[in-house]
Amino acid sequence: MNSIWTETEKKIHFSSQKENQRTDVLIIGGGIAGILCAYKLKNAGVDCMLTEASEICGGITKNTTAKITFQHGLIYHKMIRRFGEDKARRYAEAQSGAIDEYARLCQQTDCNFEKRDSYVYSLDDRQKIEKEVSALHRIGVKADFSDAGELPFKVAGAVRVKDQAQFHPLRFLYAIARDLPIYEHTKVVELMPNKARTNHGEMTYKKLIVATHFPMLNKHGLYPLKLYQHRSYVIALKGAQNANGMYVDEADTGLSFRNYGDLLLLGGGGHRTGKKGGCWQELEDFARKHYPNAGIVGKWATQDCMTLDDIPYIGQYSKSTPDVFVAAGFNKWGMTTAMVAADILCDLVRSKANPYAEIFSPSRTVLRPQLAVNAFESVVGLLTPTVPRCPHLGCALRYNRAEHSWDCSCHGSRFTERGKLINNPATEDHRGIR
């Protein structure tokens, strides 16, 4: 099922690699993070090249709800408690800078960029909201308590931040990608020091950026333990009440709301990939109850990499790989975080200091409670005596009845009923599924 973004924008296409290539910076992955990295590097005068195994924006990027905000759930109260006010303030500054950058770039493109207020609401915990408002005030962010009266149900309260934004992501990305050095249908099949072998030849590089949603190098960085994947679902409703803002529940399994033109995009039904969840059925039931006169005109799903501490991994891939960099674990907030990643990585590959690099360093501590959860899921997946098994690291695959796919609860790889790869970290089709 296609998102409204793919249904309302014509694709642009790039040729595949025709001969061996040489570049200073090779970017693997043609989603929003990879494209923004290529855009910024090219404009900084850096010789770079982007390779995409399929088509740009063909993975997670096309299925976003495209909210541009630094309000990433109720994270700032927790961030101050874990890391202190200075780190929380700099995280917010980095994300706010990304919003400003979108506002500037979107002036050059007709991508439906619109300023909107952003709300994070709680159904039953007013104190959580009050603490988050206080935390934002402590780090110098203007925020206020709201009753989120535009929602079709009562909430305990919401944190409102003004002057956030939304846009048409593919319209924006196709516009800035048009003149970039991109190779589509060029899959990297082997990585060696300063050389990548693709299905069409070789690419020699000095620096490498891995922007493949889930990092592809298993031997470095412990990413299979530092990340897990979470699925979310969206339906587009015509004839529903205008939300007049962007709303998201503070709970992982809650609902989100935003408008695109005369459509209401209702998101939710989420669950860890490979587990059971409400899926589209939950959203359809909600729509029938609260928007009885609305019709469903589209539905799609997406998948997000979640980190151990709510902060993405942006920077040097691991301590043992000084010329390899990564952008991953955007925790459902890929719009602003992809821009932050492009800014940081554009500096790091040029050996320039970046004021926010330390916050997002992939080499920070892994000693967080989520690590034990990820490790447990991996052990269970490895010991579950079922077939088929995931070719990534051998965990058991589980059938997803809502989407008719085989999903891995360890690391989030997904396959069609006939074994075609849908989502990484697996890199090949599954030959054992037919």
Residue 232 C-beta-side C-alpha neighbours within 13 Å = 27
Tens-place pLDDT, residues 253-274: 899 999 999 999 999 999 999 9
What is the second-level CATH architecture of the domain 4-64+171-225+309-360?
3-Layer(bba) Sandwich (3.50)
Distance CA 304, CA 129 (A): 24
CB within 8 A of 144, min separation 6: which ones? Answer: 133, 159, 160
Confidence (pLDDT) at 21:
96
pLDDT at 208 over 90: yes
Model confidence band, residue 310 (pLDDT cutoffs 50, 70, 90): very high
Mean pLDDT of 139-155: 97
Mean pLDDT score of the chain, rounded to an integer? 96
Confidence band, pLDDT 50/70/90 cuts, at residue 324? very high
Whether the Cβ atoms of residue 404 and residue 395 lie closer than 8 Å to each other:
no
Angle of the 85-106 helix axis to the 334-348 helix axis, nearest 10: 100
Q: Say if CB 70 and CB 164 are below 8 A apart.
A: yes
CA-based max dimension of the chain: 60
Q: What's the confidence (pLDDT) of residue 198?
A: 97
pTM of the model: 0.96
Question: Quick check: do 4-64+171-225+309-360 and 369-423 share a fold?
Answer: no
Residue 135: pLDDT over 80: yes
Answer yes or no: is pLDDT of 386 > 80: no
Binning pLDDT at 50, 70 and 90, where does residue 387 land? Answer: confident
**Which phi and psi (to 5°) does residue 408 adopt?**
-105, 120
Q: Is the pLDDT of residue 434 over 70?
A: no
What ranges do the domains of the chain cover? Answer: 4-64+171-225+309-360, 228-305, 369-423
Q: What is the pLDDT of residue 56?
A: 98
The helix/strand/coil state of 395 is: coil
| In the predicted structure, residue 29 carries a pLDDT above the cut 90 | yes
Mean pLDDT of 353-377: 96
Mean pLDDT of 86-100: 98
**Distance separating alpha carbons of residues 352 and 372, to the nearest angstrom:** 35
CATH number for the segment(s) 228-305: 3.30.70
| Token representation of residue 241 | 């009440």
Q: Given this model, what pLDDT does residue 280 score?
A: 96
Containing H/E element for 135?
helix 126-138
% of the chain with per-residue pLDDT over 70 = 100
% helix / strand / coil in the chain, to the nearest 5?
30, 30, 45
| Whether the predicted pLDDT of 67 surpasses 70 | yes
Q: Is the pLDDT assigned to residue 297 strictly greater than 80? A: yes
Q: What is the mean pLDDT of residues 201-223?
A: 96
Amino acid code (one letter) for 155:
V
- Are 61 and 335 within 8 A, CB to CB? no
The first and second tokens of residue 34, run together, are 């990879």
Q: Count of H helices and E strands in the chain?
A: 11, 21
CATH no., domain 369-423: 2.102.10.10
Q: Is the predicted pLDDT of residue 433 greater than 80, yes or no?
A: no
Cis status of the peptide bond prior to 388, with omega within 30 of 0: yes
Distance CA 62, CA 261 (A): 18
Residue type, 80: I
Cβ neighbors of 379 (< 8 A, separation 6 or more) are none
Would you place residue 431 in the very low, low, confident or very high pLDDT band (cuts 50, 70, 90)? confident
**Which residues pair with residue 115 across a beta bridge?**
165
- Which pairs count as long-range contacts for 15-20, CB under 8 Å and 24+ apart, including other chains? 15/183, 15/184, 16/183, 16/184, 16/185, 16/186, 16/200, 17/51, 17/183, 17/186, 17/198, 17/200, 17/201, 17/203, 18/200, 18/201, 19/201, 20/201, 20/202, 20/203, 20/204
DSSP string, 366-392: --SHHHHHHHHHHHHHHH---SSB-TT
- With bands split at pLDDT 50, 70 and 90, how would you rate the model's confidence at 408? very high
Parallel, antiparallel, or unpaired: how do β-strands 48-51 and 182-183 relate? Answer: parallel
The arithmetic mean of pLDDT across residues 19-35, rounded, is 98
Structure tokens at 72: 């990433």
Mean pLDDT of all residues in 75-82: 97
| Phi and psi torsions of 210, nearest 5° | -100, 110
Confidence bin at 252 (pLDDT 50/70/90): confident
Asked whether residue 52 carries a pLDDT value surpassing 80, the answer given is yes
Provide, rounded to the nearest whole percent, the portion of the chain with pLDDT above 90: 94
Taking each helix axis as running N to C, give the angle between helix 169-177 and helix 85-106, from 0 to 180 degrees, rounded to the nearest 10: 70
Residue 233: is its pLDDT beyond 80? Answer: yes
Under the banding of pLDDT at 50, 70 and 90, the label for residue 283 is very high
Kindly calculate the radius of gyration of the chain based on its CA atoms and give it in whole angstroms: 21
